[in-house]
Structure 1
Amino acid sequence: MNLEKAEFVDRVKIFVKAGDGGNGCVSFRREKYVPKGGPDGGDGGDGGFVFLRANPSISTLIEFVNRRKFVAENGKHGMGKKMKGRNGKDLYIDVPVGTIVKDANTGKVIADLDRPGKIVCVARGGRGGRGNAHFATPTRQAPFIAERGEKGEARWLELELKVLADVGLVGYPNVGKSSLIARISSARPKIANYPFTTLVPNLGVVKYDDFSFVVADIPGLIEGASEGKGLGNVFLRHVERCVVIVHVIDISGFEREDPVRDYFVIRKEMEKYSPFLVGKTEIVVANKIDLVDKRDLVRKIEILSNKIGKEVIPISVATGEGIDLFLARLTDIVKREKVGRSASEKDGSEVKTVKPAPVWRALPGRFNIEITKVDEGYWVIDGEGVRVWVERFDLNQRDARLQFLQVLEKNGLSEKLKKIGVKEGDVVKIGNFEFEYKE
């Protein structure tokens, strides 16, 4: 197995689950000389949230290959003396800078973690249930009713890493991309003379005239790359982040016979993957000029330039010829592109994150009551409002059951039951609770 290939992972699916809210407590004040104190059941704690955080010290999603399930802490249950349960701890999951977060079921992009320290909430914790202290009324001074905690959100996410680089080197295998990145930066990629030596995007930091930028060698591009040949579809996404594309072409004729065709093939594959790619600023360099006779070189460069309609910078990675001119031109373009881009964006040097408030699913004022006849003399009551109540309250609690039935009555339950033909003695089911209908 190629270890380098195995260690680079740029797309994974993970499951995240926020913490459930703690249950409210049914309790009554019992102290000396206070034999019949009022209800003092405390609220349950809120469940922990799940956050994703862009960490610049991480460069791959390899950590998620063997661990795909992440669950935040549940809120603790409420206690007597109106003691609120402790909130569950939030869970922070570190991912590489440049990670795109998508909903795995819908494909919708949730966030683009394109700056160090940027944070996104991907699952909200459930709110804790209220204790019976909240349900005391003048007519019900000792309520045996408390809410269950809300369930925390759960979802499958797709994490897709797009390498953050200012410059992307593209071109056929063996044209010298890895050698070029090794010469102009401190990167030391593995280099060999056969196709697909590079199986991961190599990154290098280039410093020129007190200005630095990141260059990425994008591997695997050949004809059919956009459809998966040569791993091209795996790595083309990394070009999307770059502000400048450097198209490297072998002008020698030893490895590649037709540099003009090579240029248009790679451009076509990029356009098939995303038309956005071919609209980026591009520099074309002709490498391996040390292998071409000086008299033929001028002619070859001129033909290539005329056919593609762009200036071509001749270089030799092996001897260093033309490298200074290329770096000066590249640095100027990157400066211009980055200044223009930063001017159109807000300053992201300091990313502040505010924890969003939990979603409180209040019981609706009007219930959408759905009544279904399952069998002769057997009916099931359902509906959105009904399901919310059943989820939040234990209908085995007498007070909860009575209060729920009162709410249903206010929303026309008896009228609807009579209208559809429910008779006295029929069994009506709500959630897991069944009762005999009486007029």
Structure 2
Amino acid sequence: MTKMGRYRYWGDQKPDTSRPLLTFSRPQEAVAPAARTGAAEPPAVTGTLRIYGPIDSWGGCWGVSAKEVAQALDMLGDAERIIVRVNSPGGESSEGRAIVNLLRAHRAEIVTVVDGAAYSAASYIAACGDDSVMSPGTTLMIHDTSTFLYGNAAAFRKTADVLDTLSNSGAELYAEVAGGTVEEWRARQEAETWYTAATAVESGLMKRVATVPDAGVAETAGDDEPETVDPTDVEERAQASYDLSLFEKAPEPSNPKPPTASAGGTTQPEGAAVVDFNDTQITALREQVGFPADADADTIVAAVTEALGERAEASESTTTTPQIPEGMALVDSAVLAQLQQGAEAGRTAATTLATQERDREIASALEAGKIAASSKKTFEERWDENPAGTKAILDALTPGLVPTDEVGHGGDTEGSADAAFEAAHTATLAKHGIKKGA
């Protein structure tokens, strides 16, 4: 599949934990279809396995895993014929292939039946049966394996190679089942090809179009007591929740939401938006709000609407004051901008004053004959690093020791300036009775 939604392959629709996605039937002797037409074929011990949901290694309400299929096959015991009914939007490629190999390795004859949809990885399962059947009005889709990734260019190149490998593996399966070359099936995958029941048979992926009856009493894997499951209900609930927007060429949903009740049958105001709750949501609302067990969606909507109206009235009658943490205050944005401009101007002025003070002090030392002109740059740099320390040195130097008239200089002026600064520094320390390096 192309991507995963908020709830993986369910999109924005949260999985329904109240219904199983994988069910199976107790094996029993069932009359094979050929026997009903008059052929002398003995009855076979037959069971039914339904895969009604995404193919997902997480299993449970998220989808059908290979592990769950393996457990269900084990519980089917000595069934000689297993009808695998499929209604799935697909899912994880490797999990789908694992289910295919489980079914192929089983000793029973496997009859795969598409009850609604067999898209993406689910098409692997549909096509792998000893007998494969498209129920009337069903669809099948194949496409290249897809994923999503965060990483650098090398990671994307490596992932592209892996996707090509997985896609080629799918094309090999289709070519094995239907004939043709891997390259031809890979091209159909890249085009995201959708098949009706008839065209799926024409392509060779499926063998026939027919209605195949169940065999056995369906029950949920892991349940102690058998439960009869209405396959139509499960199919509609599952298909309505699939996130088919994952596919580039997905058809419009075939299961629109039910219409609102007729006049007198609802408590919703005329023109109000229709709220369609599922069973899980209604149960949760009953528990959280304290409604009786028989409260329906209309009753819940009316109560929630009334509660929201009371809350709005209470909100209008009170003035909400923002809570400001202690030590902080709200400031108008224009005032804040002025304060920021003033602060920046203050910083600029402080820098200017500091530079002026430096230049003034060094110029005074030059005029007093405390330092040579060649030392000026060095004293400026040292002042910028340590204004107070450099000023103390200049104040401590003896005036008149250096000629104030510039007579020219040559050689390493920068080195001599540094030496003059160090000499002045040493003299200053000695004047205060401090030996340099002590």
Larger Rg: 2
Query: TM-score, with normalisation over the residues of structure 2?
Result: 0.19
Higher strand share: 1
Higher helix share: 2
Query: TM-score, with normalisation over the residues of structure 1?
Result: 0.19
